[in-house]
Amino acid sequence: IQLMQYVIYGIASFFFLYGIILLAEGFYTTSAVKELHGEFKTTACGRCISGMFVFLTYVLGVAWLGVFGFSAVPVFMFYNIWSTCEVIKSLQTNVTVPGDQICVDIRQYGIIPWNAVPGKACGPILENICNTNEFYMSYHLFIVACAGAGATVIALIHFLMILSSNWAYLKDASKMQAYQDIKAKEEQELQDIQSRSKEQLNSYT
């Protein structure tokens, strides 16, 4: 449990720093830089960094999609146990079906091996498990973990959309910058030719 706590602390710190880096990268690929520094300039290094963040965010999104699916399994398991306990409690007023026949087999979820003993809880034993504080605390924590993983997946998808847009903006801006450089060079050459022709005309006159 302590190892998992350290892992969670490390993941939270990593994503906090990664979010700050993505925020800074987003500012430096939008018009905010043009407003602060005047003329917009882009480099091959900047485009490579933006493309690297797109790839890294995509990989993290796929990984967290797996974490989200994995965290949904214990939520489903705890929900089935809780609903079974509610059925046992409701049978106290209706004794048509004995409570001892209602069981939950944890082994069928793949959490523990099939040769584990005991792997099944029935009747009053299952009801006692559901009445413990640890059961409800674990159930709520797994729900929070599943919701957090889902929110992380949504955030990464949102970041990926923004980063892809920024990368396309940088790519188009680099092409526009190259076009403007060529155009400025051609205009300068045209001005030089005109100035030379004027000088020659003045010399003739």
pLDDT tens for 58-89 read 898 899 899 898 888 888 888 888 888 888 77
Residue 45 near residue 140, CB atoms below 8 Å? no
pLDDT for res 98:
60
The pLDDT, as a whole number, for residue 11 is: 84
Residues with Cβ within 8 Å of 171's Cβ and at least 6 positions away in sequence, in order, are 47
Tokens of 159: 């970041």
Measured CA to CA, the distance from residue 106 to residue 119 in angstroms comes to 6
Residue pLDDT, tens place only, 17-51: 888 887 777 676 665 455 544 455 555 666 677 77
Domain boundaries, the chain: 1-32, 54-159
Task: State the Cα–Cα distance between residues 48 and 57, nearest whole angstrom.
Answer: 14
Cα four-point dihedral sign 72, 74, 76, 82:
negative
pLDDT tens for 105-140 read 877 777 777 777 777 777 777 888 888 888 888 888
Rounded CA-CA distance 158/15 in Å is 14
With beta carbons less than 8 A apart as the criterion, state whether 67 and 187 touch: no
Taking alpha carbons only, the member of 150, 10, 124, 186 closest to residue 68 is 150
DSSP-assigned beta bridge partners for residue 122? 103
Please tell me the pTM assigned to this model. Answer: 0.65
What are the pLDDT digits (tens) for 132-185? 888 888 888 889 888 988 888 898 888 888 778 777 776 666 666 666 677 778
Beta carbons within 8 Å of 157's beta carbon, 6+ residues apart:
61
